[in-house]
Each structure stands twice: as structure tokens, then as C-alpha cells.
Amino acid sequence: MPLITPNLAKLISLKERRALVTGAASGIGEATAYRLAEAGASLELVDIDMDGLRLVGDKISKTGVEVNLYKADLSRKDEIDALWDSLRGREPDILINNAGVYFFKDFLELDEDSLDKAISVNLYSAIWMCHHMIKRRLNKGGVIVNVSSIEAILPFASELAHYSISKIGVIALTRTLAREYGRRGFRINAVVPGGIETPGVKKLMMRTVLRFDLERVRLGAMFKSRLPLGRFGKPDEVARAILFLASDLSSYVNGAILPVDGGFLSA
Ligand code: NAD
């Protein structure tokens, strides 16, 4: 006889649910796809990198979970519209807006293309994905988890103004929609990762070292020394927080902005 119902296994289970994860070919999105699959969700995985997405999809389909792959450049609204057209009859009840780009650019050298890229991939894609999801499920509700960044709250690395701006927009989007659509059965939250060792971050670090950018190497060391847990995080450690927000474990959590940063923002 369970001490309390529903029991934990039921609360974390995503059986009979369908989850769409953007940016699922790498890093946090890939790890999230694995955890959501483990919890029993059917998956719709989206990325601009189809080769990477196929590798992830192959691993998941071997576990017997239904997984569909979709190539889209999420910086383009027409491609997002086409994606949702193709989802008719297979609508997700869980949406994870994770796809993102981060690159250094001195604010005074910022051009329209760079700003456009950061804002369109990181922010506009999340806006239009939420737009479709809420419109499609207005009378059914659903769960959305958006992925922001510590840089939105505490700009630490230099030359990331374009990125910080896009990610603070993701927080505003999360809070606004959580307020407006809670009564319609939606729970909308955000995770705020920081210091996660993903392929994207490793590429950025490698470029910094190859360019002998000593100032940035120094900043990287300072960042690590400020981390209360004293280490970088793993993609799966963010995925587990996303699973919590996606499942009924967090049934009364709405409009929350959850740092997954080893304590960086509090130190
Ligand atoms: P990553 O580079 O390893 O993975 C990002 C994925 O997004 C890739 O598969 C890439 O192909 C996809 N993508 C990029 N542009 C796309 C587009 N136009 N259309 C569709 N897919 C596209 O990155 P990550 O570190 O796993 O980051 C995931 C998210 O977490 C991003 O939004 C990032 O800003 C955020 N984040 C990461 C960290 C960190 O420390 N790694 C910190 C804060 C926030």
C-alpha cells in the first residue's frame, strides 16, 4: 500500500505523452531526449543538423520508443509553420524549446546578421513554437519548458550582449505565457543553465584556446573558480531538471525560472 498517491513512478511517467524537443542533435537537447524517452514519452525531435539527429534517433528507437525526426532551421518562421503542419494528428503535449546558438561578438562590431541570428534562433523560435503549441492545444493545455541562460541574468563572459538579450527575452516570454495560459491548463517554465559541458561549449572553448585569447581563458578560469559546486555540469544534469518540469512531479510549478548552474547565480 503506497504511503501517498499518486506514487513517484506514476508522477514521473510520461507514458501516453508526446514531447517535442528542439536542438535534440547535441548537448542538452540530446540528453533531454534520452530522459524523456526513458520516462516513456513518444518523441518528435527537431534540429537543423539531420546527421546528428539521426544518431540520436537511432539510439532512442532501439529502446522501443516512438521517435520521429524533423529537419528545420528554427530561425525561420516559415520552417516552423511547416513543422507544425506536419505534426497534425501527432501534436505534442510537451514542448522543450532548447535549440540555441552562442558566439562571441564585440558589441561595437555587432552587425545586423549576427544580431538577427542570435535573436531569431534563441528567442523568435521559442516565441513561434509556443504560439503554435498554445493555439493548437488551447482547450487541452500542455507543458512548455524554455531554455534560457545564466548570461541573461548575470552577464559574465564578455562579447555576448546579443546572446544575453535573446535569453532574457526567453524569461519574459516564459513568465508572460505562464500567467496568461495557466487557467487554460498550461504550465510554462524555464531552466537557466550555466557551465554545462556540451559539444557547443567545448567547440567555443577550443576556438578560444586556438586563438590564444588569453583574456577569455582567464575569464573561463574565473568562472570555474566561482562555481559553488567547483565543477562544470553535464548535459544530463540539465535534462533531469527539464524532466522534472515536464512531468507531473512539478504539477504546481508554473512561471518558474530554475537555475541549473551549480549555484553560480547565487554566489
Ligand atoms: P549545442 O550547440 O551542443 O546544441 C545546440 C543544438 O541546437 C545543436 O544540435 C544545433 O544544431 C541546434 N540548432 C542550432 N541552431 C539551430 C537552428 N537554427 N534550427 C534548429 N536547430 C538549431 O548547445 P547546448 O550547450 O546543448 O545548448 C542548448 C541550449 O542551452 C541553448 O539554447 C543554449 O543557449 C543553452 N545554454 C547552454 C549552456 C551551456 O553551458 N551549455 C548555458 C546556458 C544556456
Ligand 1 neighbourhood includes 28 CB (under 6 angstroms): yes
| pLDDT reported for residue 42 | 98
Distant-in-sequence, close-in-space partners of 226: CB < 8 Å, separation ≥ 6: 264, 267
Q: CB-based contacts of 231: which residues, under 8 Å, 6+ apart? A: 224, 262
pLDDT tens-place string over residues 181-226: 999 999 999 999 999 999 999 999 898 888 888 888 888 889 999 9
Write out pLDDT tens, residues 111-128. Answer: 999 999 999 999 999 999
Q: Which amino acid is at 248?
A: D
- Cα end-to-end distance, the chain, whole Å: 43
Residues 144 and 177: beta-carbon distance below 8 Å: yes
Identity of residue 126? A
Whole-angstrom CA distances from 33 to 25, 28, 69, 96, 195 are: 9, 9, 12, 10, 20
Which residues are 233's β-sheet partners? 196
Measure 30 CA to ligand 1 centroid, in angstroms: 10
- CATH class of the domain whose range is 8-194+234-259: alpha beta
Distance CA 28, CA 204 (A): 16
Q: Express each pLDDT in 145-162 by its tens digit.
A: 999 999 999 999 989 999
Task: Spot the catalytic one: 34, 70, 102, 163.
Answer: 163
pLDDT at 1 over 80: no
36: which residues sit within 8 A by CB, 6+ positions away? 14, 19, 21, 43, 94, 96, 242, 243, 246
Mean pLDDT across the chain: 96
Residue-level pLDDT at 103: 94
Span from the CA of 5 to the centroid of ligand 1 (angstroms): 37
How many Å apart are CA 90 and CA 93, to the nearest integer? 9
Ligand 1 atom having least distance to the Cα of 52: 9
Phi-psi region of 185 (alpha: psi -120 to 50; beta: other; left: phi over 0): left
CA–CA distance, 86 with 6 (Å, rounded to integer) = 35
In degrees and rounded to multiples of 5, residue 117 shows phi and psi of: -65, -50
Ligand 1, atom nearest to 121 Cα: 18
Residue corresponding to grid cell 532501439 = 62
What single string gives the DSSP state of each residue in 174-220?
HHHHHHHHGGGTEEEEEEEE-SB--HHHHHHHHHHHHTT-HHHHHHH
